[in-house]
Amino acid sequence: MPSLKSYNTFGLDVRCSQLVRVRSKAQLEGFILENNPLAESCIILGGGSNVLLLGDIERPVLRNEIKERSVVSESKKHVIVRAGGGENWHRFVRWCIREGYGGLENLSLIPGSVGAAPMQNIGAYGVEIKDVFHSLEAVNLKTGKTRVFKKAACAFGYRTSVFKERLKGKYFITSVNFKLDKIHQLSLSYGAIQTELSNRNVSNPTIKDVSDVVIAIRRSKLPDPKEIGNSGSFFKNPIIKSAKAKNLKKDYPTIPVYPQADKMSKISAGWLIEQCGWKGKKMGGAGCYKKHALILINRKNATPQDILKLCAAIQESVSQKFGIDLIPEVNFIK
């Protein structure tokens, strides 16, 4: 059975019955036709940077390796760019920047593939993929038929979409179209972007300048999966009723609270975990990253159970202390 150790950024040594490298839509359609109904239960994998593989997988794993970068159409202000689902996300972002297409620069250095990006509506530094999304093509694993999804059909939300909810595992995303800007509108207000630009004496930044500082900030804060196995933020930031957030603020004045629509508030999951004393802690082969409590790491030959145990212990202590349930952002795959 082939090992998936180098195909998941936690670096967990689990195996699968068959690893299929999908290099074209036609190949995928042929596989579905020949392998019905087994194809329906296949696991889809891109860069493996947002999964927790819970054990050996007794089904084929379809790895998205469909490559394509092209311009579909353009006007004076905008360009529609199409990328194959198996393109590396960061390399695609840098290609867009080199071509002069703006909109993706804040999403630089996010690991993984283009095809998985809509899955959880990836976001960073005040930008989410939904802000630049045009449409995508996906193949139904049961019928082998292609469907085009426009933005509304994707039901994008905070780290979610229809592909993570109702249609989970049903469609293989083969390509994504983005609407990018030729006349750039920079988003600089989030995180340390502005400070870092000032440190570099950049007063009139280009999209490349923004991408470069985002890369530098991320490198200073996040562990490189090539050195320390991890899947980025393990939990979502919880969204709770604003009334409850207000009460928590009385007991914990430093708690970060971000007001949302409909009398709801987002709370920093990293802060909650840190307050429970988890930052830098070890548990079996797993641990909590010393610079960022929201990131669970493969410290030393961790097993999926080590990560699961740590996840459960963190959830338990946050629930006990704050009465808040943490929900994993990472996809658990059985």
Residues between 10 and 29 that touch ligand FAD (CB under 6 A): none
Q: Least CB distance from residue 74 to ligand FAD, whole Å? A: 26
Choosing from 135, 211, 233, 265, the catalytic residue is 233
In degrees, rounded to 5, the angle at the alpha carbon of residue 160 between the alpha carbons of residues 53 and 101 is: 105
Whether 329 is catalytic is yes
For 62, phi then psi, to 5°, come to -100, 110
Q: Does residue 32 interact with ligand FAD by CB under 6 A?
A: no
Single residue of 106, 120, 237, 275 touching ligand FAD by CB under 6 A: 120
- As measured in angstroms, the least distance from the Cβ of 187 to ligand FAD is 14
Using the contact rule CB under 6 A, the part of the chain among 44-52, 72-80, 269-277, 285-293 near ligand FAD is 44-52
DSSP 3-state assignment of 199?
helix
233 is an active site residue? yes
161 binds ligand FAD (CB under 6 A): no
- The yes-or-no answer on residue 105 being catalytic is no
Query: What is the residue whose two structure tokens read 């995180």?
Result: 191
Cα separations (Å) of 172 from 32, 276, 309? 11, 39, 31
Residue 236: left (phi > 0), alpha (psi -120 to 50), or beta? beta
Cα gap 209→127, rounded to integer Å = 16
CA distance 324 to 212: 36
Number of residues in contact with ligand FAD under rule CB under 6 A:
33
Pick the stretch among 96-104, 224-232, 251-259, 297-305 that binds ligand FAD (CB under 6 A). Answer: 224-232
Tell me if 103 sits within 8 A of 74, measured CB to CB.
no
Classify residue 201 by burial, with Cβ atoms within 10 Å: 0-12, 13-18, 19+: exposed
Considering only residues 55 to 84 of the shown chain, the ones binding ligand FAD according to CB under 6 A are: 64
Q: Does 115 bind ligand FAD (CB under 6 A)?
A: yes
Q: Which of the residues are catalytic? A: 159, 233, 329
Binding site for ligand FAD (CB under 6 A): 9, 44-51, 64, 85, 110-113, 115-117, 119-120, 122-124, 163, 171-173, 222, 225, 230-232, 331
